[in-house]
A and B are shown apart, each in its own frame.
Chain A
């Protein structure tokens, strides 16, 4: 039997990673995605794996033991407010919720499982859209992220398989937690394309952040301007990622697929459309085959327009992995639209895969934004071009 193309890691039986019903980082996004894929007849039970929770030892591949203990206690409501703050918990971004350690460990377990399946040669690609919590720090929660599943899984890949990992982060927010985790490591290259930190959280991700010591040159940041549109975003992404691959020659690609660069997104100021979310996994897929014998792990991340953007963007990751993108054309399946229409209210679902052009924002100074992004890209790539 030939090797499977891809596997989908999903956690629906387990505890949800949910801060509150109103919190933007909602597990509903995964439910909607899987449901859309099922409606498209693009996924079956055979494609899905139910992963286990990560062990304490696995969490501590990256995180401080004391931080993990604090998360455990916070989820049982027995940690004083003073300590909470030190660990970045109990804030409006990352409030405490019951059994948060378990829920967060589940996400970590999923991403580790994805990495494991790919490295053991069981599948070429693996998707775990519950992962991608790229802001988590070693000893501190930040920006909706408790445990940094991706940093943990990359460390797992390094320790267990000694492979060179290319991390590609297309979330509109800078992938700071993963970048700092491997800032000194020449065997992990991080590439993050994001809205400039001039206004947007977390504020870092400047082109001058290039790595440290032996890791110098192995962190690449492309901060694009607010209101950047498809053409410029895709150009910057494709150029940077292609050149990073050529420079670094990875053994495996780990891509973070935050879906918040879309112009509908309520938290960010980029202006891309669904077109960008076709392009992002397409290139990751192509390069995984060109450089890594297909090894590709995709995780989710941000994306705060739950109804109109995330289910489509994340479905596209899976459709790309399994060569089914032809299913993402025309209108969305009617049964999916009917099922979720009421629940989405007051948001009005969009019936087609791509937005009607009348909904696209008109950006004055488009050319200047494109020029500025191009300058940023050139400066960011200068080092790896000079050191081929």
Chain B
């Protein structure tokens, strides 16, 4: 998946001459935590986060002082070295970047022009979409040997039963040798397909309470 498939737009932006108060209000109104700062030609020149604002206000106890601070322009506190993403970046690379740099959002630019934003929340939403139930479906986890053709064989069994697969995940089993295929299938009664899988020697893993069926 590419950044351009997931980034959010349109984006709420401010200019460096806007006040800190403008930023506070925009964050509250739009429920966002990052505002990219652009110049008159929509080029990205900085970013401001809720954390920058919090740092600038010092303390909630210094009411008067912070009121004065709120009128100051954003160029005083904005970050100018911004980690950006490109629309054609792979999402996993951007996820690593956010994690390594310990930041939670990155503006997306093309030739300095701001075209979108990608945030940690977008990544989480995508994770939920990829692993969750996008459509009514049951989930089956099948432990398989790590050899070619296995996924195809399992998928063929679903096909034979007219079962539509809505998502597939493959991940390593905790024994370090086998693989786990996780299917979401659009069927309420998966027993006929499960029975055939078992007949063919596949091990169904779900659901289980740890300890209940341990041999």
Q: Which residues of A contact B207 (CB under 8 A)?
A: 198-200, 226, 269
Report A85-125 CB contacts with B as 1/0, cut-off 8 Å: 10000011100000000000000000000000000000000
Query: Which of A65-73, A147-155, A347-355, A362-370 faces chain B?
Result: A362-370
Within 8 A of B (CB), among A159-210: 173, 176, 197-204
- For the complex, would chain A's binding face be called helix, strand, loop or mixed by DSSP majority? loop
Counting CB contacts under 8 A, is B176 at the interface? Answer: no
Chain B residues whose C-beta falls within 8 Å of the C-beta of A85 in the assembled complex: 164
Known: A198-B139, A201-B136, A202-B133. A91 touches B211 (CB 8 A): no
Q: Is B172 an interface residue (CB 8 A)?
A: no
Are A93 and B188 within 8 A (Cβ)? yes
| A142 adjacent to chain B (CB < 8 Å) | yes
B149 within 8 A of A: no
Residues of chain B from 75 to 125 with CB closer than 8 A to chain A in the complex: none
In residues 187-215 of chain B, which contact A (Cβ within 8 Å)? 187-192, 206-212
Cβ of A24 < 8 Å from any Cβ of B? yes
Give chain A's interface residue range (CB within 8 Å of chain B): 20 to 34
Q: A93-B189, A202-B133, A203-B133 are in contact. Are A226 and B140 (CB under 8 A)?
A: no
Of the candidates B137, B208, B209, B211, the one whose C-beta lies within 8 Å of that of A202 is B137
User: Does B184 sit at the interface, judged by CB under 8 A?
Assistant: yes
B136 touches A176 (CB 8 A): yes
- Whether B137 pairs with A173 at a CB distance below 8 angstroms is no
> Which of A24, A91, A199 is B140 in contact with, Cβ under 8 Å?
A199
Tell me how far the C-beta of B17 lies from the nearest C-beta in chain A, rounded to whole angstroms: 37
Check A201–B206 contact: CB distance below 8 A: no
A202 contacts B136, CB within 8 Å? yes
Option from A203, A225, A363 in Cβ contact (under 8 Å) with B132: A203
Take A227-B209, A365-B209 as given contacts and tell me if A204 and B188 are in contact as well, using a CB distance cutoff of 8 Å. no
Contacts A201-B137, A203-B132, A203-B138; A93 near B212 (Cβ below 8 A): no
Contact A364 B162 (CB under 8 A): no
B161 proximal to A (CB < 8 A): yes
Contact indicator A135/B187 (Cβ below 8 Å): no
Of A143, A199, A269, A364, the contact of B136 (CB 8 Å cutoff): A143
Contacts of B164 in A (CB 8 A): 85, 91
Q: B138 — which chain A residues lie within 8 A by C-beta?
A: 199-203
CB <8 Å contact, B209 and A24: no
Asked if B212 and A203 sit within 8 Å, CB to CB, the answer is no
Contact A365 B191 (CB under 8 A): no
Give chain B nearest CB distance to A96 CB in angstroms: 12
Within the complex, the shortest CB–CB distance from B117 to chain A, in Å, comes to 23
Chain B residues packing against A (C-beta within 8 Å): 132-133, 135-141, 161-164, 184, 186-192, 206-212
Q: Pick the 8 closest A-B CB pairs, nearest first.
A: A203-B133, A202-B136, A143-B188, A201-B188, A201-B138, A226-B207, A199-B207, A364-B211
> What are 11 contact pairs spanning A and B, CB under 8 A?
A92-B163, A92-B189, A93-B189, A142-B188, A197-B133, A199-B139, A203-B136, A203-B184, A204-B136, A226-B208, A369-B209
